[in-house]
Amino acid sequence: MIKKYLQYLLNAKDEHSLHSPFVYELYLKIIKPTKKSKHIDYQSIESLRKLLKSNQTEITITDFGAGSKIYKGNQRTIAQIAKNAEKSPKFGKLLYRLIAHFQSKTIIDLGTSLGITTIYQSKANPQAKVYSFEGCPATAAIAQNNFNQLSCENIELIVGNIDETLPKTLAKIEKIDFAFFDANHRYEPTVRYFEQCLAKAHEDSVFVFDDIHWSEEMEQAWDYIKTHDKALITIDLFFVGLVFFRKKQPKQSFVLKF
Ligand SMILES: C[S@@+](CC[C@H](N)C(=O)[O-])C[C@H]1O[C@@H](n2cnc3c(N)ncnc32)[C@H](O)[C@@H]1O
């Protein structure tokens, strides 16, 4: 990943290269990291993260995904999960800004883990409904406790293998405004979940894919998504990839500094 990251740093552009008014505005106002925000929502989420990072309770993991690059076996402390599986504050805040900007109402969050990034999505629009999916019952129980602690009443936590739970849930949902894909980091499931969610996407939907350069399989999955005829604007920020479906402009892919 280091080689790929260096390549990204060489290729990534900023607002001066952007001719698309939509992407220019979005990049300057929403994507580009702003001054350190002391937003009250951010403070409560980061205090919770701090507590989880010092929690030495051990749990047994059930893994339906590509596994960890760091740990072997199925025993983990909550501190280890909080340090290695959760997206950092920078990315939680990016999702928060995107959801608040687009006023996304129906949100699909694949891969809850301890729920830190789910809470960012929940707080970004309290009027939204967040469907969050986790396969590991022990991890999901901690996430649910975290949602209760921060009064996130708009989250429905769905426990089970996403291969089964996603199609069932999507059958009950009319449309998806925002989706965050951070569960099974393999080619086939990533593409399958994308296609399933795509069927409920609309002109203003936003999809965010995590770890698009994490492995060869994820690289291939990102290539599939980027070249899909319905994915009209894609933005590679290296650790995440954004997808927009606006028909108002020609298909374009961007690699932007983040
Ligand atoms: C990288 S973690 C998610 C981190 C979380 N989005 C965050 O930023 O806080 C991935 C999670 O997806 C779950 N997962 C992976 N594959 C799954 C599947 N097929 N079904 C359900 N959950 C799955 C794992 O159990 C793990 O908790």
Number of domains in the chain: 1
Q: Does the CB atom of residue 116 touch ligand 1 within 6 A?
A: yes
Taken in order 120, 122, 124, 126, the sign of the CA dihedral is negative
Q: Does the CB atom of residue 214 touch ligand 1 within 6 A?
A: no
Q: Does residue 41 form part of some domain?
A: yes
Give me the residue label for tokens 């999916």: 133
Centre of ligand 1 from the C-alpha of residue 76, in Å: 14
Q: Does the CB atom of residue 134 touch ligand 1 within 6 A?
A: yes
Residue type, 124: A
Taken in order 88, 92, 94, 95, the sign of the CA dihedral is positive
Q: Does residue 110 form part of some domain?
A: yes
Taken in order 245, 197, 133, 107, the sign of the CA dihedral is positive
Ligand 1 atom with least separation from CA of 162:
20
Give this prediction's pTM: 0.96
Q: Give the pairing of strands 129-134 and 252-255.
A: unpaired
Q: Does the CB atom of residue 85 touch ligand 1 within 6 A?
A: yes
Q: Give the pairing of strands 233-236 and 240-244.
A: antiparallel
CATH of the domain at 19: 3.40.50.150
Question: Which residue's CA is the nearest one to ligand 1's atom 22?
Answer: 135
Q: Does residue 231 form part of some domain?
A: yes
Q: Does the CB atom of residue 183 touch ligand 1 within 6 A?
A: yes
DSSP 10-66: HH-B-GGG---HHHHHHIIIIIS--S----HHHHHHHHHHHHHHT---EEE----SS
Centre of ligand 1 from the C-alpha of residue 66, in Å: 9
Q: Does residue 217 form part of some domain?
A: yes
Q: What is the pLDDT along the chain (258 residues), one digit of tens a residue?
A: 899 999 999 999 999 999 899 999 999 999 996 666 778 899 999 999 999 999 999 999 998 876 666 767 789 999 999 999 999 999 999 999 999 999 999 999 999 999 999 999 999 999 999 999 999 999 999 999 999 999 999 999 999 999 999 999 999 999 999 999 999 999 999 999 999 999 999 999 999 999 999 999 999 999 999 999 999 999 999 999 999 999 988 999 999 999
Q: Does residue 151 form part of some domain?
A: yes
Domain around 11: 2-46+88-255
What single-letter DSSP state applies at residue 73?
A: S
